[in-house]
């Protein structure tokens, strides 16, 4: 007896569901802290895609004349991030060939910083004008952001978006509603860009970043004073940094609890060498 069209459709649905399940099971990795990560997108692919997004973003800053070229600010940012990168490369040798760079954005209204996959960073001047950061506090921020890249959180976030799209695809096949499938696929890319890091990823970046900043020669106590300054910002207009970095009330407390152990990594706060970091101008 020849199979019917319904049999063909059922077979396609079954194979689609098996494919989705296989991809989800295969896409597993382990973070630097030993946490299981969903990794459907390779870190290498995330770096390639991040590079294109970074060039577009920096190009817009340049067109708007928002790239800071002040020698004192450039030197400060390059020196602090350079010391952090020295330790990042030592602890994570795979980051040696990353295109480490920083765009300093002239925007006193924005309290934010970020680091894409591959070591491409941005710092907004609102961090300095509004928070009056010390060098140690700024090192804590950049150590945290660099840690997101080292732990491949961009690839993980993109993988979560892809998993969501695959789930919608499977649901569309199972329910014979292709419109759902198309909608899910269209949303996946947007989700990858807009999806914030999870609380777990944030805690991981806190942990790695505190270690990184301490090894680079910066005072670990600054992690506590930094978050005290963040918390003191106007509640009606929280910093952009907090909108994309979920911060539970006990964050400063958790960081403070880590300090005694971390301090022993560099008790004399000996400054690391400065790794070359390109300041985008």
Same domain membership, residue 144 and residue 50? yes
pLDDT computed for residue 86 by the predictor: 98
In a domain, 146, yes or no: yes
Facing residues of 168 across strands? Answer: none
pLDDT computed for residue 253 by the predictor: 86
Of 192, 191, 190, 168, which is closest to residue 181 (Cα–Cα)? 168
Q: What percent of the chain is modeled with pLDDT above 90?
A: 50
The pLDDT tens digits of the residues spanning 122-169 come to: 999 999 999 999 999 999 999 999 999 999 878 787 777 776 554 444
The pLDDT tens digits of the residues spanning 245-278 come to: 555 457 788 899 999 999 999 999 999 999 999 9
In a domain, 191, yes or no: no
Q: Active-site residues: which are they? A: 145
What is the C-alpha separation between 141 and 138, in angstroms, rounded? 5
Provide the residue range defining the domain that includes 29.
5-39+154-185
Region of 132 please: left (phi>0), alpha (psi -120 to 50) or beta.
left
- The model scores a pTM over 0.85: no
Same domain membership, residue 162 and residue 229? no
């Amino acid at each position: 007896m020849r199979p019917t069209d319904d049999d063909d459709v059922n077979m396609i649905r079954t194979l689609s569901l098996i494919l989705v399940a296989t991809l989800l099971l295969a896409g597993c990795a382990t973070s630097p802290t030993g946490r299981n990560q969903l990794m459907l997108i390779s870190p290498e692919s995330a770096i390639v895609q991040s590079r294109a997004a970074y060039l577009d973003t920096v190009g817009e800053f340049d067109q708007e004349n928002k790239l800071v070229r002040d020698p004192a600010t450039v030197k400060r940012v390059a020196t602090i991030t350079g010391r952090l990168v020295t330790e990042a490369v030592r602890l994570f040798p795979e980051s040696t060939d990353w295109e480490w760079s920083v765009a300093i954005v002239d925007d006193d209204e924005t309290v934010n910083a970020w680091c894409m996959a591959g070591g491409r960073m941005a710092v907004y001047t609102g961090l300095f004008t509004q928070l009056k950061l010390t060098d140690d506090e700024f090192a804590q921020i950049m150590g945290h952001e660099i840690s997101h890249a080292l732990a491949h959180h961009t690839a993980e976030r993109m993988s979560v978006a892809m998993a969501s799209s695959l789930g919608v695809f499977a649901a569309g096949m199972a329910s014979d509603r292709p419109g759902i499938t198309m909608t899910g696929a269209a949303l996946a890319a947007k989700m990858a860009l807009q999806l914030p890091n999870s609380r777990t990823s944030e805690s991981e970046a806190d942990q790695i970043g505190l270690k990184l900043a301490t090894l680079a020669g910066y005072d670990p106590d600054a992690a506590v004073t930094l978050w005290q300054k963040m918390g003191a910002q106007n509640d009606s207009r929280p910093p952009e940094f907090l909108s994309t970095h979920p911060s539970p009330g006990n964050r400063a407390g958790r960081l403070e609890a880590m300090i005694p152990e971390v301090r022993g990594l560099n008790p004399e706060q000996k400054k690391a060498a400065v790794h070359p970091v390109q300041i985008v101008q």
